[in-house]
Chain A
Amino acid sequence: MAIESLAGIDQILEPSAGALLRRRVFGHAGFLIGLVIILAILAVALLAPVLAPYDPYDQNLSQRLINPVWFDNGSWAHPLGTDQLGRDYLSRLIYGARISLLIGTVAATISGLIGTSLGLAAGYFGGRVDMAVTFIITTRLAMPVILVALAVVALAGGSLQVVILVLGLLLWDRFAVVTRSTTMQVRALDYVAAARATGCSTLRIVLAEILPNIMNALIVVVTLEMAQAILLEAALSFLGLGVQPPLPSWGLMVAEGKEYMFFSPWVITIPGVALFTLVLAINLLGDGVRDLTAPENRS
């Protein structure tokens, strides 16, 4: 039918692949926005000692709950005001970026290692290994994550390390699922059979042939899991069973500000917006990578 030939005509008259990718990257607003925001937050986190006007732990009880600069009684001395213990909010916000980014990256790395290994094993070996891994994944999915995380943190004591470890040990399911299915697809391809025919060891095949080809799917999952780790830590800290005060975790800042939220709503609004912006940027980046690397993924 003539209609099918329309798509063919489109492709015949398109420019080269390289030019196409460049055009798409710069045309993909979401990806660029996400990238810029993340780089900005990363810069802020790294340069925190330079950028923050005060020590985030410095309490000053005579300066409690001062309004941010856009209120009548605010001042540029504390652009984002102070919290209930007189600590400068801007400084806490800046240092809070460090915590969120740290948790996001480390937890995602841990869960990535666990999930990817499980998924690779299941996808490559199939059979009993696959059955076992699928069972493990199903078990993990059946568990109410946030409840279990809360319980473990409560028992082991709330601290940055414990939170990161707990999140890393719990959030690997999507890695495993995606790795497993993409590995299965790639494994069936000819060049893997060729590698085996020439006698390559299993480990070498997995690392050299399979892993590079599931990379773009993995990158997307990494961003999703980073975002989820950040949100989950914020929730745990909000409930009091995550990072402990006086650390400037954004979730903790919302919890601490909750008592004052009806009089000084900005105390909880500001860290919430920060969380939202960071997670949004990470998701945009992930969506962008997925759109740009998948063959016919145009909306």
Chain B
Amino acid sequence: MLAFTLKRTLVALLVAITVSIISFSLLRLSGDLAQALAGPSATAADVIAVRKAYGLDQPLAVQYLDWAGKALHGDFGDSFFFKEPVWSMIATRLPVTMTLGVCALFFALVVAIPLGVLAALRPNSWIDRLALTLSVFGQALPSFWFALMLMILFGLKLRWLPISGTGSWQHYVMPAIALGYYGMPAFMRLTRAGMMEVLASDYIRTARAKGLRTPTVLFKHALRNAIIPVVAVAAVQFGFFLGGSIVIESVFALHGVGYLGLESISRADFPVVQAIVLILASFYIVLTLVADLLNAVLDPRIRVA
């Protein structure tokens, strides 16, 4: 068990390093960084000066190792644009993205799980068809368009919710829905399939034979087992929410990490972009490990390796 965990952690570290190398290289190879930084009106001498100032004349490997060495200490350098430590820029914006991610996950689960349970209890009924239809429609909806539609309906026509900024919890409602709906179909299908399988199992028959009341059978016995894969997928989906929040953050003007990434790309502020990619990738990797851990916690059969 310990050897397995160590191996997983080692692989995770390697993945993180590889991601950082790839993004590092992509950023520096897809175009001339010095040119982009110097601006369109720079002369050739300006570009050379910029290149030297930012250490862009060094070989790629040296540049990378230099960056990686500092990154290990949490020093991601300074922003090209703001002369401010990259880390503090990201740190101030991280809470917004995390809050958004948590709200989106909450929304997706709160809709998907009850729907999935009801659909499993009454297969081929109207509620099953409704769940399936919502699921199919949800996967076809472009997120940015859905976000704008929500804005028009709830922000403009009904005036129930604010359309930008992060002042209160109401500010997170539409963004959470616009980000979370995409995860809802997968959760719903998993819950439905899991419940149907579990409800047909022998131990549910035993529970009913003991005379347990229906809610006890459904929740204590059935859902407890059916939900295990959903929890693991939810952890990973949270990672996707964190990484994919750019569009929603920009539509609703939420100053999170995603929005910062977009702005930094437009400003050619590459240290920031580099750091964000690494941080988001690390979150994803940690979350996959968490998913495995949750599986072991929830399913006693896995624990005793």
Contacts and interface: CB of A to CB of B under 8 A. Distances in A.
Contacts of B136: 30, 280, 283-284, 287
B27 A227 contact: no
B162 interface: no
A251 B30 CA distance: 24
Interface stretch (A55-63, A112-120, A267-275): A267-275
A9 B195 CA distance: 26
Interface stretch (B54-62, B65-73, B80-88, B244-252): B244-252
Contacts of B273: 147, 151
B247 A146 contact: yes
Given A234-B144, A254-B145, A280-B140, A156 B247 contact: no
B152 A150 contact: no
A156 B29 CA distance: 9
Interface stretch (A103-111, A134-142, A188-196, A212-220): A134-142
A299 B124 contact: yes
A143 B281 contact: yes
Contact of A139 (B19, B142, B276): B19
Contacts of B11: 135, 138
Contacts of B137: 280
A32 interface: no
A235 B140 contact: no
Contacts of B242: 144
B215 to A, nearest CB: 26
Interface residues of B, number: 50
A43 interface: no
Interface string B10-35: 01001110110011001100110000
Contact of A144 (B27, B128, B156, B244): B244
Interface stretch (B39-47, B109-117, B217-225, B259-267): B259-267
B191 interface: no
Contacts of A234: 142, 144-145
Interface string B77-113: 0000000000000000000000000000000000000
Nearest to A241: B265
A141 B244 CA distance: 12
Contacts of B265: 147, 150-151, 154, 241
A134 to B, nearest CB: 9
Given A139-B19, A143-B22, A283 B140 contact: yes
Given A135-B11, A262-B152, A265-B152, A275 B18 contact: no
A4 to B, nearest CB: 12
B30 A155 contact: yes
A231 interface: yes
A147 B140 contact: no
A261 B148 contact: yes
Given A154-B266, A238-B144, A147 B276 contact: yes
A299 B132 contact: yes
B30 to A, nearest CB: 4
B297 interface: no
Contacts of A262: 152, 156
Interface of A: 30, 135, 138-139, 141-148, 150-152, 154-157, 227, 231, 234-235, 238-241, 251, 254, 258, 261-262, 265, 268-269, 272, 275-277, 279-280, 283-284, 287, 299
